Structure 1
Amino acid sequence: MDETKVTTILPDQSVLDNFLNLIEYKAASSREELEGAYSLVYREYLRRGYVKESSTGLKFSIYNALPDTTTFVAVVDNKVISTATLITDSPLGLPMDEIYHRELETFRRNKKKLCEISMLASDTELFVNGISLMLNSKKMFLIFYLFKTVFDYAIRVLKLDYICITINPKHALTYDFLLFKDLGGLKRYNNANGAPAIGKYLDLNSVENECREKKKEGLYRMFFLKKTPPEKYNCKIKLSEEDLRYFFIEKSDIFKNASPAQMEYIKSCYPSYNLI
């Protein structure tokens, strides 16, 4: 599918507005929203074979314990229907370092500020017969508007240089449309249960000019003419000691299985917490 075909599936604005007006896009602001996001990721990843069955019914990692990690949610009637997590680079690295460390090190050597978008999922039960992202305009715009919220946070709040991501090759056209570039070739990703993955990145310093030069008018309107209100970020949950214990000790063995170096860094992020 080429970019022309992508643009032709966009719905009438009135239909789209009626759908999107029901949804709030923001940073997760409570333990309940975090758990809703982790549960949604688990269900959707299990459906696609990206994770193995787990008694907890949740999918998250040690990176979610970091204070700079931000989980974004699309919420309708207090239910999380879509989510994405932004993980900033740190001494723990990024999840995709597992297979794209050499490529990421090129950015780091040039003193670039990185993040990874991870744990991206939408509730397929909202869409008829699980129609694919590129063939279902409502689902596409749900993802795009959520990504817009993440994008604004990365570029306007964190002032990052690059957004990085690993995707299944079948979604490559979506990210090409969003002006992502290839970071590395096709690999198998243990973090996704051995599924095929392609690394991609978005240059936040040049993407606006590129969008304008390539005359992507719809994309430009969506991503650059309006800014996400600050209150959508200011509500971000600050993990308490109880939250960390709940997710990483009671609900999982993540802290138990973490390396000494990982736990040392986690503890340095929360010097007043007792996480033993």
Structure 2
Amino acid sequence: MRSFYQNWNRADKNVNEKNKQEKLSLMLIRNAELLREKKYLPERRRAIRLRRSRLTEVGQSLDYRIKTATSREEWIEAFSLAHDRYVELGYMDPDPSTMRLKIQNILPSTRVFTARYEGRAVATATLIIDSPLGLPSDAIYKKELDMLRNKGRLVSEGSSLVTAKEFKCSNIFMLLFKVVYAYAQYLQTDDICIAVNPKHARFYEDILLFEPIGELRYFPSVKDAPAILERMDLRTAHARFADIYNMEDFDCDLYTFFFTANNGDESEWGKSYPTGGLRMSLEDIRYFFVEKTDLFVGIDDDKLAYIQKCYPDYDFTRLLPPGYFSTR
């Protein structure tokens, strides 16, 4: 009997030990799974968000036409859409011109893109290339932008990225940003910077792989709305998108969308985006910057000289009010 109980206890001990080992093994496996899930959580979050948002779904884009504004009528449409959305969002009071534009819009290198639906502009985005006129975000992030400039980098800024209220749930923004990105690459800029509201920062960082380079500040030109300066390094963007979006989960990945899908013939880019820039007529400059706005008021001599350099064949004494040059 004694031997029986000894054998029973020994067998029970062996069973318990085996159970402990199995439990330990299961725990280690589970821990490994948790670590893997934690490691790939951002990627999985991106995959889920992309699927739910249908950001790159081709079917949605068939009814939209992305176009560069090249006429006064098209610029008015874009600037008016930006104005109306900024007013609706509380970022500005209504302006008598019913348009929102910046002095950098006068530059031939600046591009205003619109997404058109059934003949009207329903979204717009502007890309501004750095110049002696500076960038809009210099108003509160000059130190951060100067750090990039001092490294010899050509910086650009995305501006006035707005979508008509009834189209805000579509993928129109991604179609516009694809063109903005392609144009920035075509001009061989090194960075795209965008000052975004903090509530949109996660989208730019998680999905578009921007990185914050400026702390939270408040933008006077949009009624002191909060902003964070985000930056996309175009020198490394290709590799980063390939690295992040190479998982099987990404059945609508942005690497394919930005780098391999429908990029078109690069020889055609020179026709659409001539390196000499897209120049406004003298009459358009007068209309937008003298008659409708006062953007020339207070501009310093160096900036004015640069604008004149961009239009060497224009007589700016005919453009600006009488006595403008003599009073400077």
Return the TM-score normalized by structure 2.
0.75
In structure 2, do the counterparts of structure 1 residues 19 and 104 end up closer, same or farther at CA, with 3 Å as the change threshold?
A: same
Q: Report the counterpart of residue 223 of structure 1 in structure 2.
A: 258
The one of 202, 224, 248 aligned to 1:173: 202
Q: Residue 52 in 1 paired to residue 89 in 2?
A: no
Report how many aligned residue pairs link the two structures.
262
Mapped pair 1:7 → 2:42: no
Of residues 139, 145, 161 in structure 1, which corresponds to 2:175? 145
Gaps of 5+ in 2: 1-41, 321-328
Q: Distance in 1 between matches of 2:118 and 2:140?
A: 38
The answer (yes or no) to whether the contact 1:25–1:232 under 8 Å persists in 2 is no
Aligned-partner Cα distance in 2 for 1:104–1:165 = 11
Q: Cα distance, 1:228 vs. partner?
A: 4.7
2:138 alignment counterpart: 97
Cα 1:145–1:160, aligned 2, differ >3 Å: closer, same or farther? same
The equivalent residue for 1:67 is 108
Q: Which residue, out of 20, 35, 38, partners 2:76? A: 35
2 CA distance for matches of 1:88 and 1:255?
Answer: 19
Q: Deviations over 1:201-254 (max 9, x none)?
A: 001111111111113541111101131556577346531111101111111111
Q: Name the one with the larger strand percent.
A: 1
The question of whether the paired residues in 2 share the 8 Å contact of 1:25 and 1:73 is answered with: yes
User: TM-score of the superposition, structure 1-length normalised?
Assistant: 0.88
Aligned pair 1:88/2:129, yes or no? yes
Alpha-carbon separation, structure 2, partners of 1:11 and 1:96: 31
Do 2:178 and 2:258's aligned partners in 1 also have CA atoms closer than 8 Å?
A: yes
Seq. identity, %: 35
* Contact 2:195/2:229, CA 8 A, preserved across alignment: yes
SS of 1:116's equivalent in the other structure is strand
Question: Which SS does the other structure have where 1:202 is aligned?
Answer: strand
User: What RMSD in Å do the two structures reach over aligned CA positions?
Assistant: 2.0
Give the CA deviation at 1:94: 0.7
> Secondary structure of the equivalent of 1:143?
helix
Alignment partner of 1:242 out of 261, 283, 289 = 283
Q: Would you say 1:198 and 2:235 are equivalent positions?
A: no
Distance in 1, Cα, partners of 2:55 & 2:175: 16
**How big is each residue's C-alpha offset from its partner over 1:22-58, in whole Å with a ceiling of 9 and x where there is no partner?**
1111321221111100000000011111112211110
Larger radius of gyration: 2
Listed one character per residue, the Cα deviations across residues 136-161 of structure 1 (whole Å, up to 9, x for unaligned) are 3x2xx210110001101111x20111
Of residues 256-265 and 245-254 in structure 1, the stretch that sits farther from structure 2 once superposed is 256-265
- Alpha-carbon distance in structure 1 between the residues aligned to 2:74 and 2:264: 20
Structure 1 pair 52–259 and aligned structure 2 pair: CA distance change class (3 A): farther
Superposed counterparts of 1:12-31, under 5 Å: 16-31=57-72
Q: Secondary structure at the match of 1:242?
A: helix
CA shift for structure 1 position 10: 3.6
Unaligned 5+ residue runs, structure 1? 128-135
| Contact preservation (8 Å) 2:55, 2:174 | no
Indicate the residue corresponding to 1:132 in structure 2. none
Higher RCO, Cα 8 Å, sep 6+: 1
Q: In the aligned structure 1, how far is the partner of 2:282 from the partner of 2:55? A: 47
Separation in 2 of the partners of 1:12 and 1:41?
Answer: 22
Code of the residue aligned with 1:169 in structure 2: it is P
Check the 8 A contact 1:84/1:119 in 2, yes or no. yes
- The 8 Å contact of residues 107 and 279 in structure 2, kept in 1 or not, is answered as no
Of residues 243, 246, 252, the one that matches 2:293 is 252
Q: Distance in 2 between matches of 1:31 and 1:25?
A: 17
